[in-house]
Amino acid sequence: MDKLLNDIAPASTTDVAEEKTVDTGTEIAPGAEAAPESDPVTLGGTAVSPGAAFGHAQMFAEGELEIPHFTIEKTQTRAEFTRLRAAVHTVDKEFGELIAELNREEDAPTEAIAFLELHRQLLNDDSIISETQDIIRERLINAEWALSLKLEDIRRSFEEIDDDYLADRIDDIAQVIERVQRVLSGRRRPADTVSRMMSESSVILVAEDFSPADILILKRRQDISITGLIIEKGAATSHSSILARSLEIPTLVNVSNACEVIQTDDVLLMDADKGIVIVNPQKDGMPQMSERIRKMNAVRLRQRKLKATHCVTADGCAVSLLANLALPEDAKEAMSNGADGVGLFRSEFLFMNRPNFPSEDEQFETYTRVVKAMRGKIVTIRTMDLGGDKLPSREALESIGEDPDKPIANPSLGRRAIRFSLSHTDVFLTQLRAILRAGATGRVRLLVPMLSWMTEADIVLSYVRRAQEELKDRGVKYAENIQIGGMVEVPSAALCLKQFLKRLDFVSVGTNDLIQYLLAVDREDPDVGYLYDPLHPAVLSMLYNCINTAHRAGKEISVCGEAAADPVFAFLLLGMGLRHFSMESARLLPIKEFMLAANAQDATALMRRIHRAHTIQDIRKHILEYFADHDELAAGFAASQVLCARPWQSFKDA
């Protein structure tokens, strides 16, 4: 029993990093056993690309660019203009060569080409060059200095717009300008400052930030093996983060003090899945770490071979594994992990961190990108889930008559999701038209978040018909028979599901919110977070009733919360009769491997025993007893341990 508890409980913060990796071929870097005896330091960050890496640190700050400042004579301005344009030409040629090389590669990430082309477009913006020349002419200063002043002007104009997305784009402009400045001042590219450390050594790069071009240049070098990126600043939506995901490089951003704490040659153990990096871990634990990483590499390699395998349990029960997407770029990862479709495409990113709401055409183009990327597989687009902790910018709220400073007593119980949409019908209709147009290009379903009243479903259906009529009047192609579903996230929807299913074509259970509302627990509140437990008998009973109600109505039901991606809880859902699971793309293959070994009839029998239990302790006991008799599934839990979510902390603590 104790062994099984250790197998399926999540690892502690200190040893969790040993248990996760991606298929990077990562091993303990040669010479790591001779790591300094300094005390280990653990830094936290935000994971933007999953996996683990072990190797030596290489600081990317070498060759820090110092901009020369000097004045020139009026007669020298033309020479500075020539230097400026020559430097721009050199950088443009570099981008062009990289793009050409990528175009010759069959498996080159499309994001890489897109980002390079964007940087090339910024580079050739005539206004930047001409206005820099104006600065040279008016202030009689060198081109490098003039470019710095121009960048400051651009930054000031962007800072006036309180918008995170635009802030990321100013970083793109800064990266392009710095590249030109390096050519002007005769300094090497940042990527060229990274030297080979030792034979066969794995390198984890550490920097304040990276440009997409530098990442590509470094990744293509033959003399070093880049196994991880640690970025002190950065953002999940930056082009560098998106590119790191597409290249499958384990990456952490927002790692505070990384450039101060980490030194070149430090040994690093990085676990991007848990958002930590250990600097100079204990030497006596390195052999075990090396063995664990090798084992997990083997697991990931084995799971990748399952990409094209249909998910069918050991006793012949077909299971559909769908992907949850937060950005259009995530569709590629979903396809590479063998997703059967998109169970949840979160559209709210389009509405946040910008001064205005997206147009119908912008939304249509975004949704269509996902539809095309999924190549005929189903795409479920959720209408904007705004409100609560996901608010549009001040400017956007003011544009629709909202007071951004109005206090909200309880955002989670306020005007959010469908309530927000029905309060701003013009914005809602615009989104509906865009989704309907995307539905004419492929298999699209529409999903409505946080339904709690039957009248909400009726009103949504009437607005869908209205949007269809408007598109018809305009002569625009649209989906005439689009499937419309609802999220089951509040107890009222779960309890009245039979009536909702008379209006809806399918439903998707959002366990994260449903459990929160059912148990009246804010899972992010450390004072009560321990009470958030999906194994609560009321949670299991409600999920079981929802699944059976949908089946009796002949309607599809899926679960798209974190519970669907936890191997233990997924087994319980299988026993309840669930056949459609939706999760983050990185979790699809581990869950598929587990499901292929699982027996649906056994899962059903286990649920019958659990239904007779009245306490969480009894439920845990039944689960542990079952898996104590099924070693192969217990091993599957251990192999998929990176997926274990909050409920299994209770196993460890019980």
Catalytic site residues? 239, 560
- Listed in sequence order, the DSSP H helices in 343-415 are 360-373, 394-399
Could you tell me the CA-to-CA distances from 407 to 208, 402, 460, 521, 645 in Å, in that order? Answer: 36, 12, 28, 22, 33
**Could you write out the DSSP letters of every residue in 549-568?**
HHHHHT-EEEE-SGGGGSHH
**Could you write out the DSSP letters of every residue in 327-376?**
STTHHHHHHHTT-SEEEEEE-GGGTSSSSSPPPHHHHHHHHHHHHHHTTT
Question: Do residues 577 and 548 make contact, with C-beta atoms less than 8 angstroms apart?
Answer: yes
Question: Do residues 386 and 456 make contact, with C-beta atoms less than 8 angstroms apart?
Answer: no
The phi, psi pair for 425, rounded to 5°, reads: -65, -30
State the chain's maximal CA–CA distance in angstroms: 92
Placement of tokens 């408007």 in the chain = 470
3-state secondary structure of 164: helix
Question: Do residues 277 and 230 make contact, with C-beta atoms less than 8 angstroms apart?
Answer: yes
By CB neighbour count within 10 A (0-12 exposed, 13-18 middle, 19+ buried), where does 12 fall? exposed
**Beta bridge partners of residue 382, listed in sequence order:** 346, 447
Distance CA 253, CA 229 (A): 8
H or E element: which one contains 228?
strand 225-231
- Listed in sequence order, the DSSP H helices in 479-532 are 491-495, 497-500, 511-519
Question: Do residues 388 and 196 make contact, with C-beta atoms less than 8 angstroms apart?
Answer: no
What is the layout of strands, in order, in the sheet containing 276-279?
41-44, 276-279, 267-271, 52-59, 202-207, 225-231, 251-253, 46-49
> Residue 406 corresponds to which tokens in the numbers above?
């109005």
Cα distance from N-terminal residue to C-terminal residue, the chain: 12
Distance CA 563, CA 103 (A): 40
